[in-house]
Structure 1
């Protein structure tokens, strides 16, 4: 903690008047320029060699030294000891409203209140005195400058619910809240950065994906936008196909389960599982690169051909596979026939002779199929 010197105590003289101010002894060779002596962290003024320096420069240097040590706390103190927001000042107090203070300062009342609220939060943490203990013109010990940004935000949006959410997210990411708030307040600039810079676009993509996990409305909006854009819709379909193929290989490699073309789930043989593991390791190495899709297709085709070969080489599996395939086809045909809406066809002038002919042909095909199945059953 450092003591804040009262800047108002420095006499104001005409800028042209010269005074003698202390400066450090020259460390360079004779003839080198000498600089103004700095303020030490202890607040002491270095007094080696004297040099004529304008009073305005001395005042600026001392003001800078105060601010360098205490930062925004210097000005927050001026607000905290002089402002009493809302209502009339307490009896016997010289404090004024934030609006009156802002008019005297030539700035907005909102800015004054941001300093006021920063002091209020620090007071709650016991870092600075409460407002009631402060009187106009009185100096107190102030925290170090680097603590200031933990309590103050230069943006009014930081005080809103949205601002608090952005601030919390920024802290979780380990960045300054002011940076995140600046981006949030300028979406056009964010859009320009995304359009122009691949790195920014990648960061935005990752953020959107993380947000969509918990934001159902955003999921719907993104899905709708993709579905309405032909190129994106096609790309999503391709990626979904690649993901399904990778999952097929992964189930064999990690789960030891294989799904046959007819939909049967069987235990994978050690040889098949080893082949699936080899292809999966190659895909995982490629991660999200453009070649991953091609490798996924090759892995799927290779593994699937091995599955078909294993089924064909096992008589019992071959019978089960063909039986399952027939049942699947029969189930699909039954479902399609059940969905025929005959009532709508009969009620209006929709019926055509061709419809009847096709149904008669279908009836003949079904009859032939039934006859063949019965003969095979009798023969067995």
Structure 2
């Protein structure tokens, strides 16, 4: 049996670091904490530019890509795309702000250097696979599809590699061709995402996103319909509502419709002009009041019709006949077209008072209400505690944090001791 021994005693100090970096990449690919630390050092100190590029050669590597591809002990002996994939794995201690900043800086530098050599880690084959996945989910609609289109598509894009390190976007027509849908539909998804950005519902606009972008927080699916419009309910219905409101206000509908079609101009006017900002604020207050009024009217009607409601803790209860009759008496009040927001608010509070009275007057319901409230509070606390990584906690713990944890443990022990007694 022959045992292969790889000696590295002849390597310089810089080559030793490269050797360790390559070894760490091959042995720790699953949790590459050591590799990421070493790579950060190699990038920060420019080690890859200080080692010779080959045997009997004094010249350093011409590019970071050559350094990665070069055979050991001069380089890492891997494909740049593989290194980019490893960079996506978080460092075990990235919960520590200083380490997170160091890793982000290193990742940005590596991606920029590789992008200069045409390596982005995002191939056309990958784009095709992503678009096919999008096409398979297309019928379900939703925020994820709009996010993906915003990452891939740009109006006027030609698909050529951009000067920056980001992969190039493609046109709506090209996306439509690859996914088997229409460019009009693709643009509706793009418009929905941009509208959500203007409304402050999503953090990143299309200009901030690119192919292969990491997932972002998505809004609730319930408000999707407010931003995405199909052919059946595109702009005609909304335009009719705007025109009607304009007539009531005594202005020409064309002016209101022009503002509706150009929300960016409205946004700029609000930012630049105080009077416009005040008018917008008043409009939002009126709209919020109308929405709140409609929600309260619907709530009172539902309680009166069904005779069911939820307690403050969220426990569903059946109202007694007398309470249901009282709730029904408020329906006529709130359904009156002349009912003021104040009248609706009073009726709403009265119905809520009926629910509280139902809870307090029935000992069994009262006990269930308290049990539900305690269960929710303790469950919510436990979820928050379980989300804490012990390793991350240890890395940043100080005396104040230890005192808080000790106090929480003491309180939990006291509660557990009290409820365990007969």
- TM-score > 0.5, shorter chain as reference: no
Higher relative strand content: 1
TM-score of the aligned structures, taking structure 2 as reference length: 0.34
TM-score of the aligned structures, taking structure 1 as reference length: 0.37
Q: Which has the larger radius of gyration?
A: 1
